[in-house]
Structure 1
Amino acid sequence: MLLSGFGFYNIFHMLMSGLILMGMIMQCLALGYVIPAAQCDLELTAEQKRWLTALPFTAIILTSYFWGWLADTKGRRAATLVSMFVSVIISWISSFAPNLASFAVLQFISAIFMTGPSAVVYTYLGEFNNLRHRDKMVTFGSSFIGIGTIVLPSFAWLILPLEFSQPIGFLDISYSSWRLFIVVCTIPFSTATVLLFFAPESPKFLYANGRYEETLEVVKIIYSINNYRRKDSFSVKSLIVENQITNLNSDKGITAIFASMKEQTFPIFKPPLLPWICLTCFVQFGIFAATNGFYIWFPTILNSLASEDGESMKICDVIELTRNKAAADALNSTTVICDDTIYTSTFERSIYVGLVFYSMYIIVGVLVDYVGKKLILVVTLCITGVCAIGANLTYNQQVAVVLFAIFQMSGACIGLTNAVAVELFPTKYRAMAVCLSMMLGRTGSMVGSNLIGWFLDVNCGAGFYLFGGLLVVNGLVCITLPNMKTEKLPKSDTTEPAPRQMQEP
């Protein structure tokens, strides 16, 4: 991989992987904008809003293990390609859902297939880059999550205010702007599916499974495009056979599947990998719970702030005042009028937060080669945790939104934690380890979104303090990581460290 060089191929592959991540985050968080716009059409109660926001994360939790096994046994590309294609189709169908039940079921099925690329892509991206450039490329690829948080409110701003309604008689629905918004949010996934169709399988996966000729062919393609030379001019003519081939099980059917899953999972929960899987799972849980858990409610929070724009009040005071006003209006009125208005400032502030979020990815991508992943994780998580607590203590709305934006920058550590996992775990178990940590992360998203929705109704401030404190604890835990700073290898050294070298503290 070092001999294949670094150039256009790696950049193109990073952009394609970035599109996958962008599509994943947009589909995952789109409900945050859909729910306020669709609450009248679907007649949503506060409780239904809470469990609807948790649906995508629930699906991811239930199926991450399966996708990790599939990626480690059948291939990174195959698992990602099939899951993306099906997820896009189901999302399109969900935009025609006539009621809440059908909409929820279709969104749940779409999220099941969205799970595949959401974790596998980190491994797929990392394995196409050599040791010198892996951290940087995984971080820049992850930055597309930040781009997604800018594009998502931009699409929402363009589409949701549109006042059109196209009746569809046989479904008994009116096709309105929020339904179109769901379809538009699949554009990155759709584009990435087409690009991935022409991409090769991970050379690391091919090599670990004994497909040496295919491995060498993929590396030759990378070399040829990066160096503008013919493939047959590559200096490596054959690969050394390594005893890392996945064992073939003699069992058949479901027994073989369970045996294969056991073989892929058990070694991860034994020394020397056990402490690292526990650490990455805990850190991902905290980051996802804080960032995704809050972001899914962010449009609702911003909409409340917009309704009291200019008032010198804390975020939670505004939310409580808005809730009390709605309750008073409901008591004093004989006819309940459903209000699905989304203020323009909600979209504007969401874009500003997305820009700050994206800038953090760029900063991390630039610094990671110089200061290392460990220091960035510790400093970023501690600072963003403190900002989460501060966001609810200030009486100035603008300062509160700025602190909230800095708080959301902790999401940039998701890709960095996955880059750590790619180094900590050997090729055979890498996708499974990343998927398990992401599964715990999505569990955090589900727990976070439900808890925050409950806190907003019961004790708003406690939500900010709890999840801000959790990020600080995550940062302190990362101090126990081994020094993950990329070593500057001499040019004559073309060998990557053996997996065991990465597993020991």
Structure 2
Amino acid sequence: MMNGVDKMASKDKFSTMSLDDAMMLAGFGTYNILHMLMSGVILMGMIMQSLALGYILPAAQCDLSLTLQQRGWLAAIPFLAIILTSYFWGWLADTQGRRPVMLFSMIISAVFSVFASFSPDIISFGVLQFISAIFMAGSSAVVYTYLGEFNNLRHRDKMVAFGSSFVGIGTVILPCVSWLILPQEFAFPISFLDIYYRPWRLLIVACAIPFALASVLLLFAPESPKFLFATGQHADALEVVKKIYAVNNRAPAEEFPVKSLSTGNFLYKASDSKGIAAIWNSMKEQTIPLFKMPLVPWTLLTCFVQFGIFATTNGFYVWFPSILNSLANHDGGETKICDVLDASKAAAANGTDVICDDTMNTATFERSIYIGLVFCSMYIIVGFLVDFVGKKLILLTILSVTGLCGICAHLAYNQQLAVVLFAVFQMSGACIGLMNAVAVELFPTKFRAMAICLSMMMGRVGSMVGSNLIGMFLETNCGAGFYLFGGILIVNAICCLTLPAKKTIQPSKMINVESTQNQTHEPV
């Protein structure tokens, strides 16, 4: 910490400075940690809203008269909304600002989630959930950028990584909240809607609470200094940096030595074309080269691998509570997962007057919490190992092992072993970040953001396709689903053999991070 004499001596030296240098001078501390926690709450709300239907739909199947295929379509709604609207939200955040886009989208998403909790039938439920998911996608497309732009270059990656860990925390909190709410037995009649307000409806509202809390916190947060600077609001950007400095150093903002921000190396340039034409030209310039040599093999590889990982992880996760619940309710001897599921379907088919059972066994929530904890730990383990053994070896190992575990989970007769294998099967999701890191090194800086955005979009297509295919397989041929998606992960591992070895991947050059173009779509 500089004393008063040093500050005065360096006043002229620091009077004008680039935004990145000013951020470095503002330091790292309390402000950055609090901002990361707020962003983490947004990420936690996003993952809870995306995956909550896995717990809600089994409990709502009687009230809404849902078949397995209908549950598959409903579970795919959040992923479909993200696929359809991510580019729009990214463009809107680049033109209108990160903070207003997130604030507006989270409030509207939470409001429509509350409306969805009063849905009397499947049509209204699906429509309201889709509208809520569209606005949920707004924060999904922007939050990583908003988090990164409040940290200097030295600490940015670390803080984004810590913020991302809230995704794993969300997979633990979601079954905890479900365990607290779903076993309750209240049913309040609402006559004008002809419904009973039961626990699954309350769970929809509970999963929107993180967005409501984050909206309140965001009211007290400023706009991103990078966006303010990019749009010519240099004085406002400097005020934000001063605030970061004041909180981190516990000093008055007036003591910050930088009095103005220089624009000499700034690369942002407004496009001559406007509106849709500007968006189309930008996307075309950055997308077409990805499908030409020498980049097209890497484009196809990253898209296919992300498709397989998302289809397996998210596709099965939305059915995970249903499968665990069927296993927990099974009273017979040792048998395979699919035999338990087929037996429950056969019992329903043979009955002439079947009573719908939408109760959730408490063992389902307990096992889901354990698996969420393992999922969180996988991120930490991969983070420690990646610098020692390299991304390629980790990808090969995790994808091949999880693929084999998926196949073996179908073949195992011991229920506990089957659940463990099934849990390991879900751990392929830890490779999503690794594939993004590989893409950073495979693609030139100019096309890197679009390449990652494209591969992540294909991954979300995989989530939607996977959840529907798995629902169809559970209805017709349960074992085929495990063989198909386990096999896809093994094929993904084989494809990763073509990746350059650790020593041959050239380190990427320093990226100029001042431009806001494409930064809102996906985290690099």
Scaled by the length of structure 2, the TM-score of the pair is: 0.82
Q: In 2, Cα distance between the equivalents of 1:21 and 1:410? A: 20
AA at the equivalent of 1:92: V
Q: Secondary structure of the residue that 2:76 maps to in structure 1?
A: helix
After superposition, the C-alpha distances for 1:159-196 in whole angstroms (9 at most, x for unaligned) are 11111111112222111111111101111111112222
Equivalent position of 1:239 in the other structure: 262
1:409 aligns with 2:431: no
Match of 2:77 in 1: 55
Q: For residues 383 and 487 of structure 1, do their structure 2 counterparts lie closer, same or farther at Cα, with a shift above 3 Å needed?
A: same
Give 3-state SS (helix, strand or coil) of 1:392's partner: helix
- Are residues 302 and 83 of structure 1, via their aligned partners in 2, closer, same or farther at CA, if it must alter by over 3 Å? same
- SS of 1:324 mapped into structure 2: helix
Give the alignment partner of residue 473 of structure 2, picking from 417, 432, 455. Answer: 455
Partners of 1:372 and 1:224 lie apart in 2 by 40
Structure 1 counterpart of 2:78, one-letter code: P
1:177 aligns to what? 199
Mean Cα deviation higher: 68-77 or 170-179: 68-77
C-alpha distance in 1 between matches for 2:505 and 2:249: 24
Secondary structure at the residue paired with 1:174?
Answer: strand
Q: Does 1:133 align with 2:171?
A: no
Aligned partner of 1:64 among 86, 104, 109: 86
The 1-side partners of 2:66 and 2:446 are apart by 45
The structural deviation recorded for 1:102 is 0.9
> Are 1:348 and 2:370 counterparts?
no
Structure-1 residue corresponding to 2:123: 101
CA distance in 2, matches of 1:470, 1:67: 31
Deviation at 1:343? 1.4
Cα 1:142–1:412 shift into 2, 3 Å:
farther
1:311 aligns with 2:357: no
Offset, 1:236: 4.6
Larger CA deviation: 467-476 vs 314-323: 467-476
In 2 relative to 1, CA 499–27 (structure 1 residues): closer, same or farther, beyond 3 Å? closer
Q: Is the 8 A contact 1:264 1:428 kept in 2?
A: no
Distance 1:344 1:61, change over 3 A: same
Compared with structure 1, are the counterparts of its residues 64 and 14 closer, same or farther at alpha carbon in structure 2 (3 Å cutoff)?
Answer: same
The one-letter code of the counterpart of 2:175 is P
Q: What secondary structure, in the 3-state scheme, does the structure 1 residue paired with 2:92 have?
A: helix
Deviation at 1:35, TM superposition (A): 1.3
| 8 Å contact from structure 2 (residues 286, 446) kept in 1 | no
Q: For 1:49 and 1:128, how far apart are their aligned partners in 2? A: 40
Distance 1:297 1:348 in 2: 16
Aligned partners of 1:432, 1:72: CA distance in 2, in Å?
A: 15
What is the CA deviation profile of residues 84-112 of structure 1, one whole-angstrom value per residue up to 9, with x for unaligned ones? Answer: 11100000111111222111110111011
Greater Cα shift, 139-148 or 369-378: 369-378
Q: How does 1:187-202 map to 2 (within 5 A)?
A: 187-202=209-224
CA distance in 2: counterparts of 1:424 and 1:217, whole angstroms: 38
**In structure 1, what is the equivalent of residue 320 of structure 2?**
298
Segment of structure 1 superposing worse, 139-148 or 89-98: 139-148
SS of 2:196's equivalent in the other structure is strand
Which whole-Å CA distance do the structure 1 matches of 2:288 and 2:241 have between them? 33
1:66-81 equivalences in 2 (<5 Å): 66-81=88-103
- Give the equivalent residue in structure 1 for 2:399: 381
Task: Report the Cα offset of residue 298 of structure 1.
Answer: 0.7
What does the per-residue CA deviation read over 1:120-169, in whole Å, with 9 as the maximum and x for residues that have no partner?
22233233334443333323222212211111111111111111111112
Q: What are the equivalent positions in structure 2 for 1:252-263 lying under 5 Å apart? A: 256-263=274-281
- Cα contact 1:136–1:368 (8 A) shared by 2: no
Aligned-partner residue type, residue 416 of structure 2: Q
| Aligned mates of 1:373, 1:236 — CA distance in 2 | 40
Residues 169 and 376, structure 2, Cα contact 8 Å, conserved in 1 = yes
Moved more, 278-287 or 299-308: 278-287
> Residue 156 of structure 2 aligns to which amino acid in structure 1?
R
- Percent identity, aligned pairs only, is 65
Matched, 1:213 2:235: yes
Indicate the residue corresponding to 1:441 in structure 2: 459
1:340 corresponds to which letter in structure 2?
D
Paired residues in the alignment total: 486
Contact 2:309/2:459 (8 A) holds in 1:
yes
Between 140-149 and 7-16, the greater mean CA deviation after superposition: 7-16
Contact 2:290/2:299, CA 8 A, preserved across alignment: no
Cα 1:344/1:235, change in 2 over 3 Å: same
Structure 2 residue aligned with 1:491 = none
Per-residue Cα deviation, 1:182-223 (whole angstroms, up to 9, x for no partner): 101111111112222222333333444444433333333333
2:443 and 2:101 map into 1 onto residues whose CA distance is 20
Cα distance in 1 for partners of 2:264, 2:388 equals 34
Contact 2:445 / 2:511 at 8 angstroms: preserved in 1?
A: no
Greater alpha carbon shift after TM alignment, 256-265 vs 85-94: 256-265
Q: Which residue, out of 28, 40, 48, partners 1:26?
A: 48
* Alpha-carbon distance in 2 for matches of 1:433, 1:115: 19
**Residue 77 of structure 2 contacts residue 130 of structure 2 at CA under 8 Å; is this kept in 1?**
yes
Answer whether contact 1:139 1:415 (CA < 8 A) is retained: no
Change (3 A) 1:406 1:396: same
Shift of 1:451: 0.7
In 1, distance between residues paired with 2:358 and 2:47? 24
Normalising to structure 1: TM-score of the pair? 0.85
Identify unmatched segments of 5+ residues in structure 2: 1-22, 515-524
Conservation of the 8 A alpha-carbon contact between 2:400 and 2:493: yes
With over 3 angstroms needed to count, the CA separation of the structure-2 counterparts of 1:313 and 1:36, relative to structure 1, is same
C-alpha separation in 1, matches of 2:407 and 2:153? 37
Residue 461 of structure 2 aligns to which amino acid in structure 1?
T
Shift in CA distance, 440/206, structure 1 to aligned 2, threshold 3 Å: farther
Select the residue among 21, 36, 39 that pairs with 1:14: 36
Cα RMSD between the aligned structures? 3.4
Match of 1:362 among 375, 380, 397: 380
**Cα-to-partner distance string for 1:346-374 (whole Å, 9 max, x where unaligned):** 11111111111122223344455666666
> Which one has a bigger Cα radius of gyration?
2
Is contact 2:62–2:358 with CA below 8 Å preserved after alignment?
Answer: yes
Give the whole-Å Cα distance in 1 for the aligned partners of 2:372 and 2:75.
20
Checking the alignment, whether the CA contact within 8 Å between 1:163 and 1:177 is kept in structure 2 is yes
Once residues 490 and 26 of structure 2 are traced to their aligned partners in structure 1, the CA distance between those partners, rounded to angstroms, is: 40
Conserved in 1, the CA contact under 8 Å of 2:348 and 2:354? Answer: no
